[in-house]
Amino acid sequence: MSEFQPLTEAHLESLELKMMDLENTVQQLNEVILRQYKDIERLQLQQEELMNRMAGSSAGEASPSAADEIPPHY
């Protein structure tokens, strides 16, 4: 069987540095995920608003607004 060898100071310090780096990476990834989640929510609200506008404009096609009409000089 293999013999247990205690960690040296250098090994322990190396592991601690790797752990700190991993914790930093996880924090950065978490911030990215939160930012993307907020962007997705914002885009979903915009999409819903646009869909409602389109549904409203298709229902009102019988009477176009003055802004939609082509000026007489065209």
Give me the domain span that covers residue 43. 32-56
Residue 51 located in a structural domain: yes
- What whole-number distance in Å separates Cα of residue 64 and Cα of residue 71? 13
In a domain, 52, yes or no: yes
Residue 50 is assigned to a structural domain of this protein: yes
**pLDDT tens, 4-38?**
778 899 999 999 999 999 999 999 999 999 999 99
Structure tokens that stand for 14 in this block: 């190396």
Considering the domain boundaries, does residue 3 fall inside one?
A: no
The verdict on residue 43 lying in a domain is yes
- Helix count (H) and strand count (E) of the chain? 1, 0
DSSP code at position 2: P
Each residue's pLDDT tens digit, 60-69:
555 556 666 7
Structure tokens that stand for 72 in this block: 């007489």
* CA-based nearest residue to 11, from 3, 23, 21, 19: 19
Q: Is 40 a residue whose pLDDT tops 60?
A: yes
Question: Which pLDDT score is estimated for 73?
Answer: 76
Q: How many domains does the chain have?
A: 1
- Read off the pTM: 0.59
